[in-house]
Structure 1
């Protein structure tokens, strides 16, 4: 009996404590607890403020035949109920359900498109929010086909077709060697343009690119990109230019009739060969079964299965695993076998996906710890690229060492989510090659911890460079405005002030990098000045140090056991962990804002909790710096739109910023010419 009295006393004390000092979440939890335990009749559920959405649901696009969810979260009131309806208050269509405020679509069909209403009711009070659900089809480029080649003769006209399907109908554009073709470029015009009849290249309204009077200089890789709110798709075509007389008349005219006949013949012969091999293998297996050679058959089928799955044979030698003729370090120590890191190590080696990136860690010198990232320590080191090239049999005859700085990300975590993120970043930097994205130098995976080696630059982090471009007066004004707590460390050396064309150039470099990631259907998820580097030639490169502990730790926030860049993320990423290309668009805009504010901390006057609350209530407002051109400011505001569907695609962003850069450069050049003339 004494124990029961003590237990009830503790319950009452805790309840009083939560009502007195608890946050909104604690109060809400207490209300639920009191409703569930009706025996404590002395406590009554209290009103938790005005009924409201946190956040308000927003329109969404779902891929045809895919599933999806739209959350409707309600705060305030006493005991609100939340229900979804079609249109105003119509029942939901088949295949669409509502549970605990979440609208769920099992398999999206075109008939599911339309308006939906979320209604929250608490007693005699109710609130509603309307959203639009669109069922879309991801764009798919039909022509050109992947790896297609077009052969033309010098002097002829080349016609490059860009045909795509999707819902809504996608827009298309052409690029040459990843540089987007626009009418602002010399020798390029659109079908209805003033110079369409004389331009070297004409962009037709139907997506076709016409190249007149082809020369050997026009031989290159041309990319057709189709984009809509449903996504992106891109195929490349290689234009091959031959001299007069090198091609038969039919092939040089672009009809390629003979090539089609040859392709069909080869395909037919290949199919016949495959069928013959299938019949031969089936008969061979039948004979073996008849002879009772069961063991030999199983061994043969096992080897064939390994070949089909792309696996390498494994043998056991002295109780340790052998792969590629060498002993795996993880299997020498029986204790390492139980670690998840070692398991991923063996899995990565088994798949062979990153085996070609292996670099011995003995090549790393002058290692300096910068801080701690999401996987473990982040270091800055140096490596001899001549030795790396020789290791990969890319010996270019150079014997002199080429010492280059590298960023080293150590993998010491055992968390499965972080292990998957480590592999995701490896995949990003190994798949994408672009002049504005750092290269993946290699992977030190012969022992734990694994090291990811990323390219670094001579001028280092973009954020530190931007801070170094501040004048003493600007730095003092910033500290006076936001307080000494956010004062940046003194710059190691002062940098010259950035001119308008320099800032626009950095923004264009970042847009090019992000557009390349989007074209490969990849997301960065942490675009910021701290995660970019810059060269002495003023070339920006997108990287991924992500120093969650160290000099940049105040720029990260721990929410739901995850460390996130709160001030850089859009609402859907913070509140629902919904990352996409459109969340990268939002973060891109914040980084451009950093470039023009010389690395100010976004919303520096607000603490993290205030930023989070304003994100929830949709009251976080961005202001455009006065030094930013009006056109760029308008573009950033579109990138910061609450609804991801309303944000522009990266292809559109890159085109607009490239045009702005060209205008700024032209104005600067004409101004300098005028000044020289006056002198």
Structure 2
């Protein structure tokens, strides 16, 4: 418990275009010819110039430790990356550079200073500066951990707090995790106005002086040392005995030896009890973890069986009393998702295991909630032979993939990583990116998802705003030409494809939780696929907001999702926001409002969406229902798909009529 309280206290301190083939209005999309993508196809959609992605950042290294500082660039033509000390000086001994990464072997004081990363493609040169600090973490040398101080009432006692580190740490005392300061009663600092009458004095050298101990002073006292290199803390226990039983120097007082023996025996007994308690606690915790893992698997299997039985009852004409089967289906939240993976799913994931050397041309896009997110290519022929050795050897055939790395040990994020594996592994639909492979032979584990030749939908929509942006998009995607401006039929088609994809997920009792244009990709045949890049730190950083120690897509989520209540109805809200993006060509929702204002209005139920004039009225009415404050008022995806398909049929008929005239 002492360890847990210390951690708590430190945390307080640190504060395809198949649907409409044959129509004149859409046939130009299927006529685009796509070149084989090369290393330049992953440039930003609006900027092919040489740039850092992301820009390198300053770092602190512990003395004698090793470290790396990455300098990654995008754009340009075959750029070279070099590191220098200061502006152009050679790197000091013990520091080297490889593939744009600054490597420090055993950090010493001589290695601290300013370093410059220089990238050049022959035509353009860019630089970025960082500062490397070499520090020594604070260490408390007095009091020693677990110290005990005994004093008699009315006696004075000095509690020393000394620490070392670089930069030199500052120290302070706390009592039972409450910081001692001069505004408290009977407490002042050395040389303070009330120092002469205060009973507890905080000395400048870090010591704590109690002029006359009282029985109420008995407690746990902590010495904390802090600097830019970190924090350290140790505790001691002060025991105040009745007056006359303990002298200032127990070793020299009469009967002091006997008391010392008793105290030592008591301390030894307490230490043995503490060790025994810790052993029992650790053993029980390990057993609980094993049981929890088995329980999650059992709950997943039993939960699905129960949901199937309930679903069968609701489908029967007499399965729901008073004919309210449809209402009950719509009103409930998605409770079938469990943060573990079932045995059946685990066996399926084992079949997806693949070596990471199948991935080539890997380029980092940014960082997600688990780790780095990148684009790569995978040899589909080799992957098929790996799955089925009897398949005849074929010529290599590569295709683009999205790679998400799991670089964290956080239990919550690991559960979310497994949840996404479950989502893309179970939902088999042409509008949902397939889980192609799982590279788990070493850390970090890699989730490999299907990707498309034209990349994410957000960049595609931005490119349709003007001919110049379309040309830039085509250059980045390696296409012969960029996308033409979207017609009403094209927009309705994308909305219908997205609705069908999310409906396939809801039929599996799964939720996506981050539906947005940035998390969809599109082919050159205008075929949309739902994926989950979630670049929380990268090009889409501004689209996410940190709430309750989690990063959430604030402008795309309903109020109940702020508290973790995800369901098919919360996905309906996000679906409507994504359709709004399609018709506004990827504008930022509520662009004129700050994140805090959006959060306040969302919680208060006063956040109002405005549909663009180009949106058909039936679709606008549908979206407004999807944005209802109450989840039960939002339509089910069966109804959403039917209404969006009706809008698509009307748009197709209008386009056919215009072409006929």
What is the TM-score with the length of structure 2 in the denominator?
A: 0.50
- Greater relative CO (CA pairs within 8 A, separation 6+): 2
